[in-house]
Amino acid sequence: MLTSTLEEPAFIDFLTGNPTKEIFHHENENEYLHAVGKVTQSVKKFLNNNKQPFSGISPANLKSLFDAIDFEKTHDNYDALLNEVEQLYTNHAVAFHHPAYIAHLNCPVVIPAVAAEVMISAINSSIDTWDQSAGGTLIEKKLVEWTCDQIGYSKTADGIFTSGGTQSNLMGLLLARDHYAITVLNHNIKVNGLPQEASRFRIFVSEKAHFSIQKNASLLGLGEKSVIKIKTDRSFRMNIVLLEDAIKRALSQGNIPIAIVGTAGTTDFGNVDPLREIAAISKKYKTWFHIDAAYGCGLLLTDKYRNLLQGIELAHSVTVDYHKSFFQPVSSSGFLVRDKNFFNLITHHADYLNPKDHDEDGLPNQVNKSIQTTRRFDALKLWFTLRMMGREKLGSYFDTIIETAAKIADLLRLDGDFELMNESDISALVFRYHPKNARLDVCAMNQYIKKTMFNEGKALIAGTKINQQFYLKFTLLNPITTINDIENIIKIIKKHGNEYVTLNQASADFRRN
């Protein structure tokens, strides 16, 4: 029979008699410091060894290393473990901080936020209820209040941190759906499920809006058919004349407009829809107005370009992605509403978690506003950042990005070998390499360029299709990236484009003759 006394050391494994040294606990402080120190040195190697943004390794070659892993065998020290992880992961991780990474909407991260990650993971608060987080709840609430203030919302506004833009957009459409049902149809979807009219609900978005709008409409039981895409103008912003025409047409067909989604920073072009004009149309037709500012939320940081977001304060709800445009590590995003009472549409009370009497006692349970239960304390990263750096410093980074992108656009426009598709409000440029003397399939050539550059790893760019034609894309979110970096990337693009011409021009001419 096992017995214990007050003198026995805590956390003893009674089968082996050895302390459970891996548990995060004050008696294992040295083990914690040792482990974190080893990982820090490995991250240092990652920084020092990345002379280019990607190693170029293929999935097949990397998978072969994983095939040898046996989880029944363990490592007996952190050096061996980290050596394994470096081979499998960090040696080949895509380096978003590298100035030659200008592919997707991935930003470099600021050091105060990285430091906060150590505290977040170790203390491991869950921000769903007050009794699991205490001060963490108030930090999140304070940052939500700050973000609402930056948007221009009144004191009635509120919000919640989320996992990313897709979740925030889901919440925007969820509230739009349920708000219409309960205020117009007197139908509570939370209690009774979708009303019969739901098959006729319609959501209006730019054709350049994020794919998550369609995905979320499907998840909400409305189907992708509920999303009406509005063509853009020549600047790739939502055409408000066509928007109103589409709403009128939907009404004439017996359908029900419930929401309009404006985009503040389209993924492909970095442009901002005419938010104030869309807000007026939304008000006229009594729809919910949601703004996806996952990319463009960085404009909230800059006094110089803040005017691009005029009208954002008129939205019922807004998506922000701190991990895109506030230089935060993934994940760190937010969903904000202009009226905190909107969250009543999704609030559920559980006696074991957030009983109703907590509300009466004034306990701030954030789970009342979230579609998640357990949530990381991601707000602490933004707190560290703002308290160490401030909005003005972050805003200067975003100013630099916008201004560098404008200079890149000039470079491409003046180079006769490129076709530039857009002027960007922020920092996304769509273009293609098209030397005048090349008599080849331009789409195939640019696909070759992108693929070859990725396999080489010296510089990473993105690609997209416009009117079924393939284009290359620069997405600039790194204030460290300079015009010299871009000039070197352009040289790489031309090099691989000319390789394609050399490989294919002769055979193309032969076929013509």
pLDDT in tens, 178-203: 999 999 999 999 999 999 999 999 99
Question: pLDDT tens digits for 210-227?
Answer: 999 999 999 999 999 999
With bands split at pLDDT 50, 70 and 90, how would you rate the model's confidence at 327? very high
Same CATH fold, 392-512 and 126-388? Answer: no
The per-residue pLDDT for range 338-365, each reduced to its tens digit, is 999 999 999 887 777 778 777 777 888 8
Peptide bond into 332 cis (omega under 30): no
Query: Which amino acid does the sequence have at 59?
Result: P
* Rounded CA separation 100/102 (Å): 6
Q: For strands 418-420 and 428-433, give the pairing.
A: antiparallel
Q: Which two tokens stand for residue 465?
A: 């299709």
**Binning pLDDT at 50, 70 and 90, where does residue 479 land?**
very high
Residue 23's identity, in one-letter code, is I
pLDDT reported for residue 511:
58
Average pLDDT value for residue range 235-241? 97
- Looking at residue 126, its pLDDT comes to 94
428 bridge partner residues: 475
Instruction: Out of 257-271, 296-310, 359-373, pick the least confident.
Output: 359-373
For the domain made up of 126-388, give the CATH fold.
Answer: Aspartate Aminotransferase; domain 2 (3.40.640)
Q: What phi, psi does 287 have (nearest 5°)?
A: -105, 165
Instruction: State the maximum Cα–Cα separation within the chain, in Å, rounded to a whole number.
Output: 95
Of 358, 386, 354, 380, the closest CA to residue 367 belongs to 354
Q: Which two tokens stand for residue 119?
A: 């505290």
**Both structure tokens of 211:** 């794919």
Q: Delimit the domains of the chain by residue range.
A: 26-95, 126-388, 392-512
CATH of segment(s) 392-512: 3.90.1150.10
> Per-residue pLDDT averaged across 362-370, rounded?
87
Query: Which tens digit of pLDDT belongs to each residue from 5-34?
Result: 444 444 444 444 446 888 999 999 999 999
- Residue 9's pLDDT is 45
